[in-house]
Amino acid sequence: MNPTPDPPSPNVSAEATPLRRRLTDRMRGDLRLAVITLYAASTLVTIGPFAIYRLVSGQILVGLADAFIVLVFCSLAALAWRPNWTRAVANLLAVVAAAAVVAVVHFLGLSYMWAFSCLVGNFLMADRYAALGINVLMVVIIGLEPGLFASNTDRATFVAVAGMISLLSLIFASRVDQQRSRLTELAERDGLTGALNRRSLNHDLRSLHERLDDQSATHCLVLIDLDNFKHLNDRFGHEAGDRILQELTRYVDGNTRASDRFYRYGGEEFVLLLANTSLDHARQVVTKLGRDFPERVPSPGGAATFSAGITLLRSEETVETWLKRADRCLLTAKQLGKNRVEVDPTP
């Protein structure tokens, strides 16, 4: 039933992938994590030598402060690699960075120039509004520091330059977020229908397979195929076929939960991933979708229908096996007359 060639097996163990490649792929997929990691590395490279020099030259207090800052930054960066911790760590790291700048300026008498790198880094790393509040507070505290500036003109210059850097950093960070969101959407979705694409399906199934042993929840995979689609294309043209594919995507997205995921698997085949759903409930959901679909989506060739095969995901199987079992159920539905739902009887 699969109209497109099978991609390489998505069920590749993590151990088979070199560590450096896995780390690189993770940072490519998460800009915030990449910024945190580079921020910590920059702190190690730039402040680390100062810490060593000051400790060796007898400036023990300043040297310990520098070493402590490096240690905190690197520790938080390590925590950011834990799943679901990255965003919280990014905001915390922005607070720590600003506090560190204020501390070294106020207590150790170091240059306020360190504030400028912190302004840029916070906007690239933390949530924009959090970074804005943190940066404003840092600039105000440093700007009000008595005896730090030679004149009020220097003080006003510092505030003006800090404001300009913050504004440019905010604009740049906002633009980067918008472009990355757009690129992510283009990479994850099918260009014709707007459904998630096969690349997203492989990624999601891999992630689900890795977590399946750690939870008792059940998940169902549904393989859906439009009936008589080739006949529709041949008789009424590809524009009519494309419209049915698009309408199916809108219909399923509008009649399933936000947690459910709908993918275009290839040609007129789609996959619906129903999280935390039993086989019985999945059958009810898909049966209702199939029953109402012809009424909701008019077709020039008569009623538009689809057949579906449903299978329960099992941790002891590979991702390929999940798809093959669903495909066998779909084939059975086709052979028994189409416009029907078949459930894999394997418990």
Classify 193 in phi/psi space as left (phi over 0), alpha (psi -120 to 50) or beta.
alpha
Residues 6+ apart with CB under 8 A from 325: 309, 311, 344, 346
Active-site residue (options: 15, 188, 268, 269): 268
What does the alpha-carbon distance between residue 145 and residue 248 come to, in Å, rounded to a whole number? Answer: 63
Look at residues 280, 218, 224, 281 and name the one whose alpha carbon lies nearest to residue 251.
Answer: 224
User: Within a 10 A sphere around the Cβ of 177, how many other Cβ atoms?
Assistant: 14
Contact at 8 Å (CB) between 307 and 227? yes
Contacts 24+ apart (CB under 8 A), 28-34: 30/86, 31/176, 31/180, 32/86, 32/87, 32/90, 32/125, 33/80, 33/81, 33/86
Q: In what order do the strands lie in the sheet with 306-312?
A: 261-266, 269-274, 220-226, 306-312, 341-343
Contact at 8 Å (CB) between 322 and 291? no
Residues 6+ apart with CB under 8 A from 282: 220, 222, 274, 310, 343
Buried b (16+ CB within 10 A) or exposed e, 188-226: bbbeebbbbbbebbbebbeebbeebeeeeebbbbbbbbb
Residue 268 among the catalytic residues: yes
CA distance to 251, 284, 300, 323, 330, per residue, from 277 (Å): 20, 11, 34, 17, 19
Strands 341-343 and 306-312: parallel
Catalytic residues: 268
